[in-house]
């Protein structure tokens, strides 16, 4: 792969990822509630979802979705509904004691299923679902990745490298947001954290309203 193209890809991708969006907002909300160790599973979800969307974009499915107004609008509506759910969930968060550990609890059958494990799975699913219901990612990858593909080299290998690098960037930058938020969390009391959750929930709802408005305004 051309070194200049690769450097431009790194700069462009990093700038895009570091710009606050739904993914960053979700990571920040999880970090406020559970700290970095709790948010890492959400980050794994958002990063994995990005990879899936990048791979979809590299296939005929991505091209069809990007050129089908109906399919694109339908996926945007699904994504907006999910943002509404996230907003309501953030508003329903209750203040927690400053220190709270969830101990592992063995079930009567001895399976050892723990609330912590369930929470991790839920966090991962929420993260990956956020990305999978965001069709803007498909448009982004369909338009971005080809700009950094060297026509003289095999397409598939280059696309795989770009996808892997993008995954690492998403994971790293989201971890940075989470670590910073977690440190600020230690300086906040329960009421301040609750206010931030309300603000985050409102932003999720506003994003949803913007999507609904854009979809139905253009459909009118």
Here the contacts of 101-110 (C-beta below 8 Å, separation 24 or greater) are none
| Higher-confidence position of 179 and 73 | 179
Measured in residues, the chain has a length of 220
User: Per residue in 95-133, pLDDT tens?
Assistant: 555 444 444 445 455 444 557 788 889 999 999 999 998
Question: Where are the alpha helices (H) located in the chain, listed in sequence order?
Answer: 3-18, 22-57, 60-67, 69-91, 115-132, 136-144, 155-185, 190-219
Residues 60-68 have a mean pLDDT of 67
* pLDDT at position 150: 80
Max avg pLDDT among 67-76, 87-96, 129-138: 129-138
Q: Which domain covers residue 26, as residue numbers?
A: 3-219
For the chain, how many structural domains are there in total?
1
- From residue 7, alpha-carbon distances to 87, 93, 112 in Å are 37, 42, 48
Residues 3-24 have a mean pLDDT of 88
| Higher-confidence position of 197 and 180 | 180
Q: What is the pTM of this model?
A: 0.77
* pLDDT at position 211: 82
User: Per residue in 143-170, pLDDT tens?
Assistant: 888 888 887 888 888 899 999 999 999 9
Share of the chain above pLDDT 90, in %: 30
Residue carrying structure tokens 């969307």: 53
pLDDT higher than 50, residue 135: yes
């Amino acid at each position: 792969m051309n070194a200049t193209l690769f450097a431009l890809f790194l700069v462009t991708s990093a700038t895009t990822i570091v710009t606050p969006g739904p993914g960053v907002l979700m990571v920040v909300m999880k970090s406020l509630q559970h700290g970095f160790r709790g948010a890492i599973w959400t980050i794994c979800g958002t990063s994995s979802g990005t990879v899936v969307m990048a791979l979809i974009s590299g296939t005929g499915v991505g091209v069809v979705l990007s050129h089908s107004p109906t399919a694109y609008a339908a996926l945007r509506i699904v994504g907006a509904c999910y943002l509404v759910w996230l907003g309501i969930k953030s508003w329903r968060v209750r203040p927690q004691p400053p220190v709270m550990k969830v101990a592992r609890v063995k079930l009567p059958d001895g399976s050892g299923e723990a609330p912590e494990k369930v929470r991790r799975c839920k966090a991962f699913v929420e993260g990956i679902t956020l990305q999978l219901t965001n069709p803007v990612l498909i448009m982004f990858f369909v338009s971005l990745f080809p700009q950094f593909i060297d026509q003289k080299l095999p397409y598939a290998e280059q696309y795989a490298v770009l996808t892997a690098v993008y995954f690492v960037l998403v994971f790293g930058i989201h971890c940075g947001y989470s670590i910073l938020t977690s440190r600020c969390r230690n300086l906040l009391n329960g009421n301040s954290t609750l206010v931030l959750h309300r603000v985050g929930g409102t932003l999720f709802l506003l994003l949803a309203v913007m999507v609904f408005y854009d979809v139905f305004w253009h459909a009118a």
